[in-house]
Amino acid sequence: LILIYFFLNTVLGLFPWTRPVARILFQLILNPLQSLWQGLLAALPDVAFLVVLWFVVRYILKLVRAFFNGIGIGRIRLEGFDPEWASPTFKIVRVAIIAFALVIAYPYIPGSDSAAFKGVSVFAGVLLSLGSSSFIANMIAGLSMTYRGAFKVGDRIRVGDVTGQVEEVKLMVTRVVTPKNERVIMPNSNILSMEVVNYSQMAADKGVILHSVVGIGYDTPWRQVEAMLLDAAARTDGLKSDPPPFVLQTLLGDFAVNYQINAYTADANRMPAIYSQLHANIQDVFNEHGVQIMSPAYEADPQTPKVVPPDKWYEAPAKKPG
């Protein structure tokens, strides 16, 4: 196309009666280039201002980042300000500084006073407001959770039906890994509207209580049952002796009494394993003392108690330790 243009311009310029057409072709290219050059020269002061503003904002952000990094690593301490808040607070301050800089820079952007530029800006703003409602909701929820201190990375939590360890907390979503190694991605807006149980925070304080219920017949003395349940808790690794475990009688049923063993643990991440070991120890202790744990569908007393004697604990394929 360029070669054709110059060919036509040259050929038409050779003849007197076609020279006006050649001049018109020349002006078609020259006028836009001249307008661009004049516009660039006129915009140089504004462009220089924008460049200076960019450098100023850049170094202000570096200073702010250094300040909040100091808070995050503990070099700078502010009363009532948690070091874990440093990173999200820096992000908020950074957005505010950039937004303020854009407000200052807007009048100096070449063409910002034109109707076309204003129309595109309004159109982009409408699209953003219509399509980002869930985005804004999740972002605000993520910031709210950060300052609420509901949980942090590494905590074991329960949100609704999901229980697991917090792997990552982002501005939009939170990733939780369940005990079955399932990675659940939860929108922050959903978490903000639901109850959050933080086992790790309770375990780090006094300890989180693990509990289990067994149904025992009325013919077994309740004092003996409580003693056996406490014995089972004492045998379980991961359960604390201080505060001591305790037993509650939660129900006097038609055929059995429901006993609930409660014990404290400081290791929230091992809760499934501790529960499993506690249940195994309960079975062992009750079998050792010949006390039958009632089945859910109870009809009558069997001829022989439903217990497993110690000499049958390690029937094949089970292997006796040691």
291-313: pLDDT as tens digits: 888 765 556 666 766 666 777 77
- Rounded to an integer, the average pLDDT of 206-212 is 89
The whole-number pLDDT of residue 250 equals 93
Nearest to 174 by CA among 182, 163, 185, 189: 185
pLDDT for 207 beyond 90: no
* Among 106-110, 229-233, 276-280, 284-288, the least confident range: 106-110
The one-letter amino acid code at 104 reads I
What is the C-alpha to C-alpha distance for residues 75 and 80, in angstroms, rounded to an integer?
15
Distances in Å between the alpha carbon of 195 and those of 83, 162, 318? 25, 11, 42
The whole-number pLDDT of residue 135 equals 63
Crossing angle (nearest 10°) for helices 19-73 and 2-12: 150
SS3 2: helix
pLDDT for 39 beyond 90: no
The whole-number pLDDT of residue 111 equals 67
Most confident of 117-121, 163-167, 188-192, 315-319: 163-167
Containing 51, the helix (H) or strand (E) segment is helix 19-73
Question: Does the pTM of the predicted model rise above 0.85?
Answer: no
What is the C-alpha to C-alpha distance for residues 147 and 218, in angstroms, rounded to an integer?
52
pLDDT for 242 beyond 60: yes
What is the C-alpha to C-alpha distance for residues 245 and 264, in angstroms, rounded to an integer?
7
What is the C-alpha to C-alpha distance for residues 178 and 191, in angstroms, rounded to an integer?
16
Name the token pair of 314. Answer: 């390690």
What is the C-alpha to C-alpha distance for residues 254 and 215, in angstroms, rounded to an integer?
11
Q: CB count, 10 Å around CB of 312?
A: 10
Nearest to 219 by CA among 302, 146, 157: 302
